Amino acid sequence: MQIDDVLERIKRSAKLRIDWFDLEDGLVEFAGTEKGSLIAENILTEALGELSLGKKKDDVVTGLNIQFSLLSAQTDVGDFVAEVE
């Protein structure tokens, strides 16, 4: 099994345990179907990666919120990161 397969299984499992569709729907509404889905996938991947490396939840939230502010999006991913954690 390749590392990409492992990562996809982890992400699929996480999506079943968190409010994935709420995040994705909001981003699709903000950025369009393709781009919004891609942003949601990237947020999940980054949150999983950062948390698995031992980064504190608050630091992950801060980093993701900064990225959203650069997109001029008014959001807070704190609840999402808490679910992922």
Domain boundaries along the sequence of the chain: 3-76
Instruction: In whole angstroms, give the CA distance from residue 11 to residue 28.
Output: 19
DSSP 55: -
Contact (CB, 8 A) for 82 and 57: yes
Phi-psi region of 56 (alpha: psi -120 to 50; beta: other; left: phi over 0): beta
Instruction: In whole angstroms, give the CA distance from residue 85 to residue 53.
Output: 12
46-71 pLDDT, tens digit each: 999 999 999 999 999 999 988 888 87
What pLDDT was estimated at residue 47? 92
Query: Model-level pTM?
Result: 0.84
Q: Is pLDDT of 72 > 80?
A: no
What pLDDT was estimated at residue 48? 92
Instruction: In whole angstroms, give the CA distance from residue 81 to residue 52.
Output: 12
